[in-house]
């Protein structure tokens, strides 16, 4: 049940989207709207999505966030969230990320999938996800909360499209039966130094569990995951801050590597 009026949802969506587009930080929106609920938070996120689509931006995928215990501990929260990926978030592998367009970027190593069939909850399980996975591929997310010093609560994060900002994908695409997503290892390097390591199981025990949760969360709004959807399943490690001049390379067991430079 929503608590905010349509006008307030529209105004908060504009406020947060402006912060994203113009790279300025804001205070968490629950400071002004302490009674807002989960439906309000997702209503604001979906309104941001509609604003972008009305301007011709394409939605090119979905993501889950806060799916690893390390990440939940880092941010002091305890429930995963979902968000959408816009076409202009995508940076080519080996490309540059412009820090002037961002506030305080951090990078996360993730495993992504592409679905072959629609997935609809409630009751979507790892088994359904594995049977509907066309391909597994690596992805690195650049998150950039619009909230000052990454100080937020979960509802504020959801409204802010779960800090989505940029992502890079590439590497080697594998069929689901060619990789074990659970034991798949990743090594993140910044300027040649290893800064984080992990395995797919960090993501809710299995990255496919994250996709199942996404289908079940979307079902609460009567939505499904369409066939052919690119989905980033969530950071395997805690997020690592980056600055202009940094080179990031993430090496994935069986899936190759992904790199980018921050300028
Ligand atoms: O992709 C993510 O895990 C982002 C979650 C949002 C919270 C954050 O900014 O860390
Ligand atoms: Mg992420």
Q: 58-262 in CATH: which number?
A: 3.90.850.10
Q: Assess contact for 168 and 250: CB atoms under 8 A.
A: no
Backbone angles phi, psi at 38, to 5 degrees: -60, -40
In this prediction, residues 202-206 reach a mean pLDDT of: 96
pLDDT above 70 covers what percent of the chain?
100
**pLDDT on residue 212:** 98
Greater model confidence, 86 or 69: 86
Helix extents (H) in 23-101: 38-54, 69-75
List 252's β-bridge partners, or say none: 186, 256
Joined tokens for residue 223: 């939505």
**For the chain, what is the mean pLDDT?**
96
208-218 tens-digit pLDDT: 999 999 999 99
Read off the pTM: 0.97
Least confident of 47-56, 64-73, 83-92, 130-139: 64-73
Q: Assess contact for 116 and 230: CB atoms under 8 A.
A: no
Residue 193: partners with Cβ closer than 8 Å, 6 or more residues away: none
**pLDDT on residue 69:** 83
- For ligand 1, atom 3: residue with the closest CA: 65
Distance CA 44, CA 47 (A): 5
List 109's β-bridge partners, or say none: 140
Residue carrying structure tokens 């805690």: 238
Q: Is pLDDT of 75 > 90?
A: no
* Ligand 1, atom nearest to 108 Cα: 1
**pLDDT on residue 238:** 86
**pLDDT on residue 172:** 95
Q: How far, in Å, from the CA of 188 to the mean position of ligand 1?
A: 17
* Ligand 1, atom nearest to 145 Cα: 9
Q: Is the CB of 65 under 6 A from ligand 1?
A: yes
Q: Is the CB of 143 under 6 A from ligand 1?
A: yes
117-138 tens-digit pLDDT: 999 999 999 999 999 999 999 9
Q: For the chain, what are the domain ranges?
A: 58-262
Distance CA 52, CA 47 (A): 9
Q: How far, in Å, from the CA of 108 to the mean position of ligand 2?
A: 6
Task: Report how far apart, in Å, the C-alpha atoms of 259 and of each of 120, 125, 141, 187, 211 are.
Answer: 34, 32, 11, 12, 25
**pLDDT on residue 72:** 84
Q: Is pLDDT of 196 > 80?
A: yes
H-helix or E-strand containing 64?
strand 59-65
**pLDDT on residue 242:** 98
Greater model confidence, 227 or 70: 227
Q: Is pLDDT of 2 > 90?
A: no
**pLDDT on residue 187:** 98
Task: Report how far apart, in Å, the C-alpha atoms of 5 and of each of 37, 52, 99, 154, 231 are.
Answer: 12, 21, 35, 20, 31
> In sequence order, what DSSP letters do the residues of 137-155 get, joined into one string?
EEEEEEE--SBGGG---HH
Cis geometry, peptide bond prior to residue 122 (ω within 30 degrees of 0): yes
Q: Assess contact for 143 and 174: CB atoms under 8 A.
A: no
């Amino acid at each position: 049940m929503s608590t905010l009026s349509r006008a307030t949802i529209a105004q908060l969506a504009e406020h947060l989207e402006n912060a994203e587009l113009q790279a300025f930080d804001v205070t968490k929106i629950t400071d002004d709207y302490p009674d807002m609920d989960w439906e309000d938070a997702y209503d604001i996120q979906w309104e941001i999505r509609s604003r972008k689509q009305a301007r011709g931006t394409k939605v090119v995928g979905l993501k889950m966030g806060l799916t690893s215990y390390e990440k939940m501990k880092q941010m002091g929260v305890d429930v995963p969230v979902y968000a959408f990926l816009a076409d202009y978030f995508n940076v080519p592998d080996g490309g540059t990320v412009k820090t002037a367009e961002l506030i305080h970027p951090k990078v996360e190593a993730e495993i992504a999938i592409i679905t072959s069939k629609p997935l609809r909850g409630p009751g979507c399980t790892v088994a359904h996800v594995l049977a509907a996975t066309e391909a597994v591929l690596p992805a690195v997310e650049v998150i950039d909360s619009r909230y000052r010093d990454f100080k937020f609560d979960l509802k504020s994060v959801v409204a802010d499209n779960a800090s989505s900002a940029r992502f890079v994908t590439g590497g080697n695409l594998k069929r689901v039966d060619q990789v074990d997503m659970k034991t798949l290892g990743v090594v993140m390097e910044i300027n040649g130094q290893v800064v984080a390591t992990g395995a797919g199981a960090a993501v809710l025990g299995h990255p496919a569990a994250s996709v199942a949760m996404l289908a079940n969360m979307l079902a609460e709004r009567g939505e499904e995951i369409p066939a052919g959807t690119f989905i980033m399943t969530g950071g395997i490690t805690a997020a690592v801050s980056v600055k202009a001049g940094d080179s990031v390379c993430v090496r994935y067991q069986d899936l190759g590597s992904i790199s980018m430079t921050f300028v």
